[in-house]
């Protein structure tokens, strides 16, 4: 409020157009909402899904996002080709080595690389752009002029980022799966524990991995959306999210700070390796999902507290 007042005083010639809480939360029932008698829930729900649909359309039609998905899809292909060439020379151990023996393992190997940096970049671009991008382009107040409400807009923006996070995960999995099937033999999958499972069960475990990694990316999207509500420059929110990811990765690498690693988000992204054990370590996966849920709750509420009380000046 105070900033809006000072801005008014500094620019006396301009008509203050700042959209504040009072104007935002007012339902425009008299002017434009003559066809909306006191908000029947069905109408509201359909408006919500329409808004989400248009957001998703905008996100996935955007060339920038399409290029990011394409880049993410290329990496498993590159890893597959590199491993195909390398495996001819010398036997390598571990997860990477097992790719040469089985096509499905390429999916897990690709996730183990991409989950560290490239997928978080893609997700934080969309998440960080969500609110700040609209504010920067000056379209936020038009969005809020529609009878949508700030909370609903925030939820739509977050769900949009979550869908993109899952899309990124699915693109990686599909690309790795196709590359693996082309380049490597199909057969029973050897787990990290040394036992083997059938191809069908391997595919099922890939599905579990997609669900888990997608949830991890959704947690990062919550952080990105929360940071996005603090600025009008979308690159600021995107960079801040990326810096957070990189700093936590560095902290994770310092052995003396082992005590704090369970609280860091990236520590849990790689825990999808639980599906490669026998029996599947559902305890570890469940704990990871709880951590993701805690991040979504905390940063979602921060985003809401900031966005619902923000003076929209652009």
Partner 1 sequence: MRRGTFVRWGVPIAAAAVIAGAMGAGPVIAAVSGDPVLPERTAQQLLADAAAATKDKAGPPPMSGTVQQTASLGLPALPDMGGASPLSLLSGSHEVKVWYGAGDKLRVAMPTQFDESNLIVNGDQIWYWDSGDNTATKIKMAKGAEKPHALPTPGPADVTPQQVAAKLLANADEHTAIRVTNNAQVAGRAAYQLVLAPKDEGSLVQEVRLALDGETYMPLQVQVFAKGSAEPAFQVGFTQVTFTPPAEENFSFTPPAGAKVKEETIGAGGDAEHAEQQAESAKEARKDTKVVGAGWTRVAVLPATLADLTAKPAETPSDGKPGSHWKGGSEGADPSALVQNVLKTATPVSGTWGSGKLIKTKLVTALLTDDGRLLVGAVTPEEITKAAGTK
Q: Is the dihedral of CA 152, 153, 156, 161 positive or negative?
A: negative
Alpha helices in 62-93 (DSSP H): 63-89
Residues 96-155 that bind partner 1 (CB under 8 A): 97-98, 101, 112
CA distance from start to end of the chain: 15
Alpha carbons 95 and 270: distance in angstroms, whole number: 13
Alpha carbons 242 and 185: distance in angstroms, whole number: 37
- CA distances to 21, 27, 303 from 150, rounded to whole Å, are 10, 11, 11
Q: Does 298 bind partner 1 (CB under 8 A)?
A: yes
How far apart are CB 97 and partner 1 at their closest, in Å?
Answer: 6
Q: Does 253 bind partner 1 (CB under 8 A)?
A: no
Residues 155-214 that bind partner 1 (CB under 8 A): 187-188, 190, 192-196
Task: Output 158 or 164, the one with its CB closest to partner 1.
Answer: 158
How far apart are CB 35 and partner 1 at their closest, in Å?
Answer: 31
Structure tokens at 205: 């475990």
Among 277, 280, 287, 314, binds partner 1 (CB under 8 A): 277
The DSSP element (H or E) to which 279 belongs, if any, is none
Task: Output 196 or 314, the one with its CB closest to partner 1.
Answer: 196
Phi, psi of 197 (to 5 degrees): -130, 165
Task: Output 235 or 313, the one with its CB closest to partner 1.
Answer: 313
Q: Does 297 bind partner 1 (CB under 8 A)?
A: yes
Binding site for partner 1 (CB under 8 A): 1, 21, 91, 93-95, 97-98, 101, 112, 187-188, 190, 192-196, 255-256, 258, 270, 273, 276-279, 281, 283, 294, 297-298, 301-302, 304-305, 308-309
């Amino acid at each position: 409020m105070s900033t809006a007042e000072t801005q008014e005083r500094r620019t006396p010639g301009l008509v203050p157009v700042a959209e504040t809480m009072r104007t935002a939360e007012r339902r425009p029932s008299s002017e434009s909402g003559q066809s909306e008698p006191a908000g029947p829930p069905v109408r509201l729900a359909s408006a919500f899904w329409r808004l989400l649909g248009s957001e998703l359309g905008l996100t996935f039609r955007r060339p920038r996002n399409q290029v990011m998905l394409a880049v993410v899809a290329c990496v498993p292909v590159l890893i597959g080709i590199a491993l195909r060439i390398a495996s001819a020379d010398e036997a390598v151990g571990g997860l990477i080595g097992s790719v040469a023996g089985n096509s499905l393992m390429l999916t897990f190997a690709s996730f183990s690389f991409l989950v560290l940096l490239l997928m978080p970049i893609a997700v934080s671009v969309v998440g960080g752009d969500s609110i700040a991008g609209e504010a920067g382009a000056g379209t936020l107040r038009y969005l809020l002029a529609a009878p949508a409400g700030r909370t609903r807009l925030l939820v739509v923006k977050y769900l949009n980022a979550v869908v993109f996070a899952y899309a990124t995960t699915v693109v990686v999995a599909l690309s790795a799966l196709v590359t693996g099937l082309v380049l490597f033999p199909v057969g029973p999958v050897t787990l990290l524990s040394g036992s083997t499972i059938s191809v069908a069960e391997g595919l099922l475990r890939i599905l579990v991995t997609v669900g888990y990694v997608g949830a991890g990316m959704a947690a990062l999207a919550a952080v990105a959306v929360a940071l996005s509500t603090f600025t009008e420059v979308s690159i600021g929110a995107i960079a801040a999210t990326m810096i957070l990811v990189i700093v936590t990765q560095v902290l994770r690498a310092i052995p003396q700070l082992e005590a704090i690693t369970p609280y860091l988000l990236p520590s849990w992204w790689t825990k999808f390796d639980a599906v490669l054990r026998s029996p599947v370590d559902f305890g570890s996966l469940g704990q990871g999902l709880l951590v993701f849920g805690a991040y979504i709750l905390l940063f979602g509420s921060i985003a809401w507290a900031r966005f619902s009380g923000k003076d929209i000046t652009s």
